[in-house]
Structure 1
Amino acid sequence: MAMGLFRVCLVVVTAIINHPLLFPRENATVPENEEEIIRKMQEHQEKLQLEQLRLEEEVARLAAEKEALELVAEEGQKQPEGQAGWDLWSTLCMILFLIIEVWRQDHQDGTLPECTGSDEDELPGLGGTPLQGLTLPNKATLSHFYERCIRGATADAARTREFVEGFVDDLLEALRSICNPDTDMEMEDFIGVDSMYENWQVDRPLLCHLFVPFTPPEPYRFYPELWCASRSVPLDHQGYGQIKVGLADGDPLGCICGKSKLGEDMLCLLHGKNSGVHPSSEMEDLLCAKESPYLDTTRVMKWFQIALTRAWHRIAHKYEFDLAFGQLNTPGSLKIKFRSGKFIPFNLTPVIQYDDSDLYFVSHLPKEPWGDEGGGAGTPASGTEWLLSFAVYERHFLRMTTKALPEGACHLSCLQIASFLLSKQSRLTGPSGLSHYHLKTALLHLLLSQRATDWKAAHLNARLHELFCFLEKSLLEKKLHHFFVGNRKVPEAMGLPEAVRRAEPLNLFRPFVLQRTLYRTTVDSFYEMLKNAPALISEYSLHVPTDHASLPPKAVIL
């Protein structure tokens, strides 16, 4: 009887081990769509049903053998030692059956894709550790390349910034002149951010990114909510916030356009038209989302584009060029077009300041060349989620760090060369998941961890190699933390909001964990970039392409 119970227990253990929910395969991955999931579940259910039938037959056979053995024992109690040997043999057979079942379960689904958690065995190497096969040009070649191809290409950056800033000042002043201070939002002075203002721009044409903070008319105010803190936020939605619109005294949202008479051509910025909406009516025409007190990014950008168009028409007669909207997928993209056919692009983005900090909520991130996202964040889940931009903090940190580094430090040169190689690789093989923002984030981490003396100009080759090593390690681990979010090593002098310092680290490479194809494409592109780097640097050291989109030397503001 005891031996029979033991056999039954072995069968139960076998079924438990074969159950996919209790002991899933460690190298399994989630199929990419629901139909694939359902198909796999049906196949596995059929296998379990067949296995259950076979186990039931085995249990029945064992029960029959047990009854036969008990019958023999009752008839004569013959050869007890032989019976004990038979029981031992049956037990060994069951154990062997259990081992075979475990092995079969681990190998029968070998066609399933492997987990992307650790892909070191599947990544294309350049021999041993991949970067061991990377041979960067020597110091003299790198310096020659930098002087001819990068420094020369960015020589007119200051003149381009000056021209764009002067025009944007005039444009915003015209916008303010057509706004009603009682009902319209107030536009503040622009703020220059990103590579053009951090002195590492290398892509052509030179592109200025400008933030334009705005505030609501009295008696309203914005109530920013960091990380959408009023509700639980999934990991892939970290790095966002919401902007609630309300009265300064905390009363419910209302509109004063019904209390103030507007001109025929005036537009209330809380409403799409002067429709005399009463505060208690539905908010269908608000810049907020429908029936919501939260600002909608799409409606804000639509209003901003309309306001800029009206402002340009007011001052167009003063200039010898045209102003047009640039990329359709970047709402703040503008382009100055000269009669000669040359142009100057720039991005003008409305933003909202978070409290008294240098953290800003951005309606849309500008697109980097060749499709890379400029801020390292994904696409918002809804129109009320605003992206958090640390661009001003990044500019301040680079300026503060530069003052502490040796004269002629190579940190920006290192970033410029890496950015140049990434742009050229994107032109060759198309965009990947690696962006210029990721390069800058990696450099910021290295600046914080290395000694100041390590960034002397003579160490350019070593620091560039170190930057690529850091990126490789981050790609292998699928982990690149945002430089400011949750980074306690950032100096307190930066003035980061405490909520940002105490937040959980934000992984900019998290999409690679979920998107296997994107990860593979990015890794392949990264190693291809390293492979092509020596030849590319040598080629461009001898030939510097002309730029068709530079600032015309005789552009005149009338």
Structure 2
Amino acid sequence: LESFYARQLRLSPHVLGHSKAHVGRVVAELVRAAKAQGLQPGPLALSLRGDFVRIGSAYEQHKVRSPDCFDILVPLRLPPHLEPQPRCANGLGPCGAFVCGLRAKAGWPRRYRPFAEGFCVELQGRSHLSSGLVLRWFQGHLQRCLGAVRYRLQERCRISLSACPGRPPTLHILPCSDYVCCHISMAVRLIPAIPLGDALYLMALLPEGPQASPAPEALWGLNASRQEQRLLSWLKEQAPASSCHLKCLQILKGLRDLRGQGLEEPFSSQWGRVLSSYVLKTALFSLLLQGPLEAWDERFLVERLEDLVLYLRDCLRKQVLMHFFLGNASLPEAVALPRFLKEAAPVNLLAAFDGPTLDLAAFQLINTWFQAPHIIRMYSHPRYLRPAPTP
């Protein structure tokens, strides 16, 4: 396991640091240009707030293999005097989905009608902000700004933007070899987000696989990445300096990806969804708070990794793994949660999967752990190493 981690999973801090810095500079230029252009259409349109939020494994110190994929939230600004009113989309979509109503501070006068026609859909007789319409506007808006940014950055890198229906646009960055010592092509997923306050955001529900159809246009997902980052910071302070909890997560992600190479469809696609990086991270959070953090010292890596596998297997068998923040009343006091999260209905992350699929995933997971040395040897050959799923 140590060799597998060192040779295939561990990232060079030097290369990761260069990649993150370069991504930050390029995204800042694009967001600045998009904000400036967004000021022109008038007060009844969306615009960019002007900042961006780094999320995902690359910024939480548990990314594996290569620093070539990044996720960035781009907060949007609603027209003046309009406020988002999110609520759980009970019965309208997957567990954990939200709809976003809008409230005008002085009612809903006629002057907001152009905005409603451009960005809203009717749902249960009320106007709701449409994630699909917002996403399409966002894609077009960034594309229109790309030319000016490309010219300003031509000595640093070559950039392009790709967009598929129902998916956030992806910014492709190829640094010039004489500018960045680590000449890696990077893909940055730019995700439009509606700020709710308290570092919470609504973002378009992402399709569950490469071939999946887009989610219904009225539905949104809730992003609590800032709360996750605060929890990780608190755990780093409380755990031993040589804690192996993030290393356990990286190794389990690596084993999941290797095992996926040997599975046949349709279960091969289900395997990656059931054991998504978010599910693995949630299981780790839950397990960490059950016992003394001193037990996560590096010396006990194998024991803690086995605990994580067994905990996850039990969750799959019981068909229950609850969202760590939504409706969780047992978090440490040091990790203060916004009221919206505390009062939200609890969400089972495994509710979308049927019993036979989860039973098979549990069986394959424990089998992967028992056969880890064999799987590492067998599927670590270059011909098996396909790109890993996006975290």
What TM-score do you get using the length of structure 2 for normalisation? 0.83
1:330 alignment partner in structure 2? 167
Whichever residue aligns with residue 322 of structure 2, its letter is H
- 2:137 corresponding residue in structure 1: 303
User: Given the alignment, which residue of 46, 49, 69 partners 1:207?
Assistant: 69
Residues 371 and 448 (structure 1), Cα distance of their counterparts in 2 relative to 1, 3 Å cut = farther
Between Structure 1 and Structure 2, how many residues are aligned?
A: 368
Distance in 2, matches of 1:458 and 1:202, equals 21
Q: For structure 1, list consecutive stretches of 5 or more residues without a partner in the other structure.
A: 1-141, 258-269, 271-282, 550-558
Aligned partner (choices 492, 505, 509) of residue 346 of structure 2: 505
Corresponding position of 1:244: 101
The one of 369, 373, 378 aligned to 1:534: 373
Distance 1:542 1:152 in 2: 19
Structural RMSD (CA): 3.3
Report if the CA contact (8 A) 1:480-1:507 is conserved.
Answer: yes
Q: Deviations along 1:163-202, whole A, 9 cap, x unmatched?
A: 1110000001111121226424332310111111100001
Letter in 1 for 2:357: L
Measure how far apart 1:507 and its partner are.
1.1
The answer to whether the 8 Å contact 2:10/2:65 transfers is no
Q: Distance in 2 between matches of 1:517 and 1:253?
A: 52
CA distance in 2, matches of 1:502, 1:324: 39
Structure-2 residue corresponding to 1:286 = 118
Contact 2:317 2:358 in 1 (8 A): no
Matched, 1:364 2:196: no
C-alpha deviation, 1:362, in angstroms = 0.9
Tell me which residue corresponds to 2:28.
169
Distance change (3 Å), C-alpha of 1:253 and 1:497:
farther
What aligned pairs does 1:336-485 form with structure 2 within 5 A after superposition? 336-337=173-174, 343-354=185-196, 356-365=197-206, 380=215, 382-429=216-263, 430-431=268-269, 432=271, 433-485=274-326
Q: Greater Rg, structure 1 or structure 2? A: 1
Once the two structures are superposed, residues 398-429 of structure 1 have per-residue CA deviations (whole angstroms, 9 ceiling, x without a partner) of 11111111112100000000011112222332
User: Cα gap change, 1:253/1:463 in structure 2, threshold over 3 Å: closer, same or farther?
Assistant: farther
Measured at CA, do residues 155 and 329 of structure 1 come closer, stay the same or move farther in structure 2, by a change above 3 Å?
farther
In structure 1, the partner of 2:180 is none
Give distance in 1, aligned partners of 2:346 and 2:3.
39
> Are the counterparts in 1 of residues 69 and 186 from structure 2 also a CA contact under 8 Å?
yes
How far is 1:295 from its partner?
A: 0.7
Shift of 1:353: 1.9
Asked whether the 8 Å contact 2:325–2:342 carries over to 1, the reply is yes
* Letter paired with 1:289: V
C-alpha spacing 1:379/1:256, structure 2 compared with 1 (3 Å): closer
Question: For residues 222-237 of structure 1, what are the structure 2 equivalents within 5 Å?
Answer: 222-228=83-89, 233-234=90-91, 237=94
Q: Secondary structure at the match of 1:490?
A: coil
**Percent of aligned positions that are identical:** 26
2:48 aligns with 187
Distance, in Å, in 2 between the alignment partners of 1:411 and 1:210 is 24
- Structure 2 distance, partners of 1:323, 1:166, is 15
- Aligned-partner Cα distance in 2 for 1:548–1:243: 35
* TM-aligned CA distance change 1:326 to 1:297, over 3 Å: closer
Q: Which has the higher strand share?
A: 2
Assess, with a 3 A threshold, how the Cα gap between structure 1 residues 236 and 527 changes in structure 2: closer, same or farther.
farther
C-alpha separation between the residues in 2 aligned to 1:546 and 1:321?
A: 27
User: Which one-letter code corresponds to 1:498 in the other structure?
Assistant: R
One-letter amino acid of the structure 1 residue matched with residue 170 of structure 2: S
| 304-313 or 389-398, which deviates more | 389-398
The residue identity in structure 2 corresponding to 1:505 is: P
DSSP 3-state at the match of 1:178: helix
Residue deviations 1:269-318 (CA, integer Å, cap 9, x gap): x3xxxxxxxxxxxx5x4211158521111110000000000111222222
AA aligned to 2:233 is R
Name the SS for the 1:289 alignment partner.
strand
Q: What are structure 2's unaligned runs of at least 5 residues?
A: 178-182
Q: Residue 494 of structure 1 aligns to a residue in which SS?
A: coil
- 8 Å Cα contact 2:8-2:65 kept in structure 1: no
Amino acid at match of 2:99: Q
State the alpha-carbon separation in 2 of the partners of residues 390 and 309 from structure 1: 27
Question: Residue 190 of structure 1 aligns to which amino acid in structure 2?
Answer: F
Distance across 1 between alignment mates of 2:93 and 2:207: 20
User: TM-score normalised to the size of structure 1?
Assistant: 0.59
Letter in 1 for 2:73: F
Contact 1:190 1:212 in 2 (8 A): yes
